Amino acid sequence: MDLRESIAEVLAGASGVLKQDVSDMLEVPSDTAMGDFALPCFKLSKIMRKAPQQIAQDLRDRIDKPGFVSRIENVGGYLNFYIDRAFMARLAIENVLEKGGRYGSSDEGRGRTICIDYSSVNIAKPLHIGHLSTTVIGHSLYNIFNFLGYACVGINHLGDWGTQFGKLIVAYKKWGDRAGVEQGGVEELNKLYVRFHEEVEKHPALDDDARAWFKKIEDGDPEAMELFNWFKEITLKDVAKIYELLEIKFDSYAGESFYNDKMQPVIDELDQKGLLVEDQGARVVLLEDMPPCLILKSDGATLYATRDIAAAFYRKKTYDFDKCLYVTAYEQDLHFRQWFKVIERMGYDWAADLVHVNYGRVSMEEGSMSTRMGRIIRLDEVLNRTLEKARDIVEEKSPQLLNKEEIARMVGVGAAVFTALKNNRIKDIVFSWDNALNFDGETAPYVQYTHARCSSVLERAGLPEGVLPDYAALKNEEARAVVSLLASFPETVENAAKRYEPFLITRHIINLAKAYNKYYFDHRILTDEDASLVKARLNLTEAARQVIRIGLSLLGIKAPEKM
């Protein structure tokens, strides 16, 4: 039963307004004292030619109150509906229990594809703390859209092209050795890259050598390609450890180099359509309300925009996406607006399906980062230190646990992921280990511990089978707060997808954990009362546990049974 639709049907009969129109007007008040659903009558005043207050009063007088509604009140220009608490508890809880781990899912995306471009490894460079947001936001969106029935394509668009690879080859041939790189991995490659930039200050001719080696890569020179592919292999092997820890997999690693032979057709089409304009030797596409989009430099070299446009055409042809999302920092807003507009000017209406999912900066108290100067905060170091701290906390709080290492991993990884997802994605983040691993704040450990608490209550219950719940046990305000959050979870998942905002789910399960814990402390669940009353409380506990677990899984976080 859909309560909104049922109320809309009653209101449509009393007002003569179409049911769908009334349904769209219905609101869920933020203050539960104002009811479970409210109809603002201001929009109806034009139709009915009456004051909103009078409309609310008239509708209240006309409505034959349904059995599932405990009372209807008109306050000002609002008509407020209060759902019978036992009825609402039964409806919401049994809906959760019936659907289990699929509660909140749907098939709205059936037959539709979402491409999600995220994480974007740069070859020969380590993932740093700045990659945390793109990686976990993208992964969470992948989970959310998949949960809603879409076919998702996770794309790690490798940064594997450019003169930096010529620089790296020069540095390796001058100061590196194979054994050292094999042993040191990306860290050793990064040291060589930093050294190049130190040495080029003293020996500018090194830049000419770097350009020459990159030209060899472009020309397919065997030695240059062997080194280039080796650097790529070392990098992917290194970052695979992080993805394994986060349990993230990608469907495609097609990067910049993949699109080298796919750019010329795009350039030709831009030329044929009269969109390319010469500007000081370079070729650009002029745009309204923003700077021109640079397609070819004066020396004929392509740019990020050229490759991104080629990649978009390839993805549309290959996947026929409904949406293609690009999860990158807000500093790239102009870049994406420019080349999205170029595709629109080329006459392709699917340009509207390209979405830049931007986010704020991630930093730590250690300060800013610069790959060229070697000042970076590696993501694996952050995650490993988070795991170490999580192990210490789990050992201190629960020394009796048998699988402490596994739980510490869940807690540590969850803490890092949750930190990047607990606020609106555009907000800048300062990562703090103490805040992330706090069991009492708005953190992953707090939500995970609530899940474990629910599991413990259910494990200790010991009720005989066949006991039917009496939901009159859940008429108190604390239970009502939990029920309301259970009932609204599917809508939260839908909104998270529509707004590309995983934090909506994070906020929902934080609120659910808080509401359940308040209920847990204010009301005894396992009592000597009638078993049917206890069963209702246990069903509430099981439903809360399931929704918390689903919410965490959509964020990419595990839910421990014990902590």
What value does the mean pLDDT take over residues 59-86?
Answer: 93
Proportion of the chain above pLDDT 90, given as a percent: 77
Q: How many helices (DSSP H) and strands (DSSP E) are in the chain?
A: 20, 12
Count how many Cα atoms sit within 13 Å of the Cα of residue 371 in the half-sphere of its side chain.
19
Question: How far is CA 156 from its chain centroid?
Answer: 15
Q: How far is CA 135 from the centre of its chain?
A: 9
3-12: long-range contacts, CB 8 A cutoff, minimum separation 24: 3/36, 3/37, 3/68, 3/83, 3/88, 3/91, 3/487, 4/37, 6/66, 6/68, 7/37, 7/66, 7/69, 7/81, 10/63, 10/64, 10/66, 11/39, 11/59, 11/63, 11/79
Lowest mean pLDDT among 28-37, 325-334, 391-400, 467-476: 28-37
Contact of 213 with 227, CB cutoff 8 Å: no
Model confidence at 431, pLDDT cuts 50, 70, 90, reads confident
Tokens of 378: 């590696």
User: pLDDT at position 365, please?
Assistant: 65
**CB atoms near residue 331 (< 10 Å):** 10
How do residues 322-366 score in pLDDT, each as one tens digit? 999 999 999 999 999 999 999 999 999 999 999 999 999 887 765
pLDDT (0 to 100) of residue 434: 79
In tens, the pLDDT along 370-394 reads 444 445 688 888 899 899 999 999 9
Looking at residue 373, what is its pLDDT?
Answer: 41
